[in-house]
């Protein structure tokens, strides 16, 4: 998406809010809000400045479980 010229903020929205809307799941996921799934990732740099930061995650949590150190 970045290579096609999409802005970093629009890429993040496509992967979160817009994807949840497309699946009719926006009441459960897609944004940080009370009552929604609490899955998240962390990077060492700001993906709004460098979207490729998402290629090197330093923390991954899904359903309250830390998946950061699980082998691929």
For residue 69, what pLDDT is reported? 79
For residue 39, what pLDDT is reported? 87
| Residue 62 structural domain | 8-66
SS3 69: coil
Q: Is residue 41 in some structural domain?
A: yes
Number of structural domains in the chain: 1
Token pair of 20 as six digits: 């949840």
Contact (CB, 8 A) for 20 and 26: yes
Q: What is the pLDDT of residues 8-49, one digit of tens each?
A: 999 999 999 999 999 999 999 999 888 898 888 999 999 999
Residue 71 has pLDDT above 80, yes or no: no
For residue 38, what pLDDT is reported? 81
Q: Is residue 47 in some structural domain?
A: yes
CATH of the domain at 53: 2.30.40.10
| pTM (predicted TM-score) | 0.80
């Amino acid at each position: 998406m970045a290579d096609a010229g999409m802005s970093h903020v629009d890429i993040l929205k496509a992967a979160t809010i817009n994807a949840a809307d497309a699946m009719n799941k926006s009441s459960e996921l897609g944004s940080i809000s009370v009552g929604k799934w609490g899955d998240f990732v962390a990077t060492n740099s700001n993906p709004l400045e460098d979207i490729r930061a998402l290629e090197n995650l330093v923390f991954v949590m899904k359903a309250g479980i830390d998946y950061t150190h699980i082998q691929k």
